[in-house]
């Protein structure tokens, strides 16, 4: 069995095991429900246009504002429609607006004369969207890399702890074990994100947020390759961290550098997303570029050539970390006499596989 066949075998096994894991399945379902609720519920909860009772003379401007207009014969009938709950508000002679317990803002705005407005930056992103988009990009990358990376580390440590790894390396090259676990984790993570994206897109269509989807499409398209390379980089680090220890309880200590490499970029993108200089720097740093560069593409701050350069830097860095992670993985996988130091794993790797 060559390395490619062994890698395919290991990846297939890891995927089958995970797809039978109820925790993974329920977690995926939970995220799908969040994606559906986050895109469908806000438009539904905001309600439709306010309904208003008016006489025929006042109906014109209210209809032009998109309100539901009910024409009544006189002012007393309009007031009674409000009291009966048939309409949200009424416009009577004066003019005056009647409502039960809350001012009908839409009706008031429709009756008001607003001065003309000239936007100096008509293409500017809505402030709420400008806050949510970087949070979503950063959160998706943070959560998936943390969750699936930790699972890779736990799988490696479990095989060491049960000593089944000694049987595995007799039949499968060590590098194939590492590659299979990383590939399986990447496929599962990307599959989960794809499902969430499909549900979110469908929710946006149902919630009539097609304009936002149009703005997000280029950024989402670039997020996929950035995510894959960023995940490979971190997965190699997680696998190496798992191989350094012999017990599940020790993973937290060994994986501290990896967790910092995930958490610090997450908070940096969240808190510095309105700082152009900081975001430009973050979009080229390998650990933060998977979220920072797609965000700059969404806001229109990145030139056409920038994502290609950033992706090339990330690719080179991911390759270097995979090579280094494989060497540490090989040097510590069969060491079961306590935690292995990085120096020992690097210098004295086992001549196996």
Q: What is the pLDDT of residues 295-339, one digit of tens each?
A: 888 878 888 899 999 999 999 999 998 888 888 888 777 776 777
Of residues 229 and 248, more confidence is placed in: 229
Average pLDDT, the chain: 79
Q: Is 27 helix (H, G, I), strand (E, B) or coil?
A: helix
What per-residue confidence (pLDDT) applies to 313? 95
Using CA atoms, how far apart are residues 328 and 341, in angstroms rounded to an integer? 9
What length does the chain have?
353
**Residue 221: how many other CB atoms lie within 10 Å:** 12
Q: What is the mean pLDDT of residues 101-128?
A: 63
pLDDT(342) > 60: yes
Using CA atoms, how far apart are residues 207 and 199, in angstroms rounded to an integer? 12
Whole-model pTM?
0.71
What per-residue confidence (pLDDT) applies to 285? 92
CB 144 within 8 A of CB 152: no
pLDDT tens-digit map of 193-218:
888 888 877 777 776 555 666 667 77
Residues 6+ apart with CB under 8 A from 348: 331
CB crowding 330-340: b at 16 or more within 10 Å, else e: bbbbbbeeeeb
């Amino acid at each position: 069995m060559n390395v490619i066949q062994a890698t395919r075998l290991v990846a297939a096994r890891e995927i089958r095991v995970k797809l039978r894991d109820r925790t993974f399945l329920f977690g995926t379902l939970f995220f799908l429900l969040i994606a559906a609720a986050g895109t469908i519920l806000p438009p539904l909860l905001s309600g439709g246009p306010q309904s208003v009772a008016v006489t025929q003379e006042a109906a014109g401007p209210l209809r032009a504002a998109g309100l539901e207009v009910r024409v009544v014969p006189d002012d007393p009938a309009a007031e009674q429609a409000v009291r009966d709950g048939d309409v949200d508000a009424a416009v009577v002679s004066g003019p005056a607006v009647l409502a039960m317990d809350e001012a009908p803002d839409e009706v008031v705005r429709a009756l008001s004369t607003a001065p003309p407005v000239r936007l100096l930056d008509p293409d500017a992103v809505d402030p709420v969207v400008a806050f949510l988009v970087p949070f979503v990009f950063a959160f998706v990358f943070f959560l998936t890399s943390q969750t699936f990376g930790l699972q890779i580390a736990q799988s490696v440590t479990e095989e060491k702890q049960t000593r089944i790894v000694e049987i595995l390396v007799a039949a499968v090259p060590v590098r194939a074990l590492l590659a299979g676990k990383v590939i399986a984790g990447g496929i599962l993570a990307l599959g989960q994100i794809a499902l969430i994206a499909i549900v979110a897109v469908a929710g946006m269509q149902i919630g009539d947020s097609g304009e936002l989807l149009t703005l997000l499409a280029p950024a989402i398209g670039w997020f996929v390759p950035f995510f894959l390379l960023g995940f490979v980089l971190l997965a190699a680090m997680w696998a190496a961290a798992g191989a350094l220890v012999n017990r599940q309880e020790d993973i937290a200590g060994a994986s501290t550098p990896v967790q910092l490499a995930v958490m610090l970029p997450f908070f940096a993108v969240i808190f510095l997303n309105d700082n152009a200089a900081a975001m430009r720097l973050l979009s080229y740093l390998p650990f933060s570029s998977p979220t920072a560069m797609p965000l700059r593409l969404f806001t229109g701050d990145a030139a056409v050539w920038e994502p290609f350069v950033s992706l090339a830097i990330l690719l080179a860095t991911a390759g270097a970390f995979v090579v280094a992670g494989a060497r540490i993985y090989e040097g510590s996988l069969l060491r079961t006499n306590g935690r292995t130091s990085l120096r020992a794993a690097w210098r004295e790797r086992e001549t196996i596989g």
